Amino acid sequence: MSRAALLVLADGRFPAGGHAHSGGAEAAVKAGRITGAASLEEFCRGRLHTAGLVSAALAAAAAAGVDPVALDGAADARTPSPVLRVAARKLGRQLMRAARATWPSPELDALAREFPKGAHQPVVLGLTARAAGLGAEEAAYCSVYECVSGPASAAVRLLSLDPFDATGVLARLAPELDRVVDRAVEVAGWGEVERLPAASAPMLEVGAEGHGGWAVRLFAS
């Protein structure tokens, strides 16, 4: 496993398009559910144990060699919101472009041909980790970190939140990230797509649908 590759993939500057998405934080801020560091932490914790767990398990399974086409179908089934499905595929397409340029791989090429408009981002993330010589655990860590760092970064812009406070949220959540990764890797190791987590986050789904209809917004999702 290349630790340098892990750092490159987890770096927010990796050109995969995530900076344009708030992970539901923009809708939550407007609804008054995120008003400062404490409520941001609760939002990120809820996202981590629901959508974050699902994404981490998908990424871990893809990195472990589970059929990515089957995993993409599982991701679709676990994403009720049409808006979020579109966002996940758009992010997957952007990540695929960066991944193929950085770590050329026949598996990435095959997935790009299968899904020319983009596969779900966690599936592409797992295959990207695999192409970079990383394993299921590293893929899951990239996924869960992105799950909470995206909303934290967005909150800094949306609320003029002190960046130190946002970083403190991420640090306090670190032990929970470890537990979610452990669970995701365990389930992915079974190699059975139908047994992957299907934790729901209804408010994220509802918020995404409303956010998708806004005439003016700072983030794509």
Q: Does residue 129 contact residue 156 with C-beta atoms inside 8 Å?
A: no
DSSP annotation of 15: S
Tokens 């892990």 locate to 6
- What residues have CB less than 8 Å from 140, skipping those under 6 apart? 56, 57, 59, 60, 63, 180, 181, 184, 185, 188
pTM for the whole thing? 0.95
Tokens 């472009």 locate to 97
* pLDDT attached to residue 167: 97
* pLDDT attached to residue 161: 95
* pLDDT attached to residue 19: 85
Q: Which domains does the chain have, with CATH numbers?
A: 3-7+21-209 (1.10.4190.10)
* pLDDT attached to residue 142: 96
**Helices assigned H by DSSP within 51-119:** 53-63, 68-77, 82-102, 106-114
* pLDDT attached to residue 1: 55
- What residues have CB less than 8 Å from 122, skipping those under 6 apart? 54, 55, 56, 58, 59, 62, 75, 88, 143
The rounded radius of gyration (Å) of the Cα atoms in the chain is 16
**Phi (first) and psi of residue 89, to 5 degrees:** -75, -35
pLDDT in tens, the chain (221 residues): 577 888 888 888 888 888 889 999 999 999 999 999 999 999 999 999 999 999 999 999 999 999 999 999 999 999 999 999 999 999 999 999 999 999 999 999 999 999 999 999 999 999 999 999 999 999 999 999 999 999 999 999 999 999 999 999 999 999 999 999 999 999 999 999 999 999 989 999 999 999 999 999 999 89
CA distance 96 to 102: 10
CA distance 155 to 150: 9
